[in-house]
Amino acid sequence: MSPFDITVAITAHAETFVAGPTIRSCDAAISAAERSGYLVERLIGLDNATSEATEYFHQPDLEHWRKVPLDVGDLGLARNGLAQSAQGAFLAFMDADDLFSENWLVEGAKALKAAAEQGQRAILHPELNWFFDAANAVLVNPDPTSVFYTPYYWRVGNHFDSLAMADTETFLEIPYRGRDRNNGFGYEDWCWNIETLQAGFIHHVVPDTIIFKRRRDNSLVTELNTNKNVLWELDMLAIDNLHSHAQQNRVRHEK
């Protein structure tokens, strides 16, 4: 029996003051979840953290967050380490320079419970990506039930944001891949989304939820694009397998 209903896990490396709004948004969402009766664990994973980041996250105002030291130097592997430390039944990841809407945890927990009652192994994403800082745009993430969702898009892009919430066991069963810098493979979120789909998980978008995504000139995605990194070769991306997945998705949502 898990001692917590939800674990909120923040990944950090060199962030300092930009993490202030992140923490406040998480605390606001956690307070809303606690008012709804959920017990929430707070984790911060410090992966090869700079001295400035270490000092920032160990300030007295953040004593209510448990710190997990990590030495993997990779965002995907850092998430795996946090999943192993998490004590909540549900796990919600967060990057240390983004924000999410106050209703994310409550609505996410409700959606996961509803999916379980229907026999689905679900992974959740926010409905909107609101980009700010070095970009100014709003992106709508399509639910697999939407006419705007097509499995064939997985060959060229990632349908969903990295912000994910699921049973903690999901992240333990299918861990993130570490970036392969020597061979030019990356995009661990994109890869993980496809691998979980192939394993039979259902991805859903939670209506009326938002991730506020800080876009920086030196962000990981920008680095991957600049270095012309590519996605790993995955079985589901074979055209016949994608076609089969598209048919299964259509049948599932026509029922």
The DSSP call for residue 214 is E
Q: Report pLDDT for 48.
A: 96
Q: Where residue 181 sits, what CATH number does that domain have?
A: 3.90.550.10
Question: Per-residue confidence of the chain (255 residues) as pLDDT tens digits?
Answer: 789 999 999 999 999 999 999 999 999 999 999 999 999 999 999 999 999 999 999 999 999 999 999 999 999 999 999 999 999 999 999 999 999 999 999 999 999 999 999 999 999 999 999 999 888 899 999 999 888 898 889 888 898 888 899 999 999 999 998 777 776 776 899 999 999 999 999 999 999 999 999 976 555 555 555 555 677 677 787 777 877 777 777 666 666
Q: Report pLDDT for 172.
A: 98
Q: Report pLDDT for 234.
A: 75
Structural domain boundaries, residue 74: 4-254
Domain count, the chain: 1
Which contacts qualify for 175-180: CB closer than 8 Å, 24 or more apart?
175/76, 175/80, 175/83, 176/75, 176/76, 176/77, 176/79, 176/80, 177/76, 177/232, 178/72, 178/74, 178/76, 178/77, 179/74, 179/75, 179/76, 179/229, 180/232
Beta bridge partner(s), residue 185: 180, 230
Q: Report pLDDT for 39.
A: 98
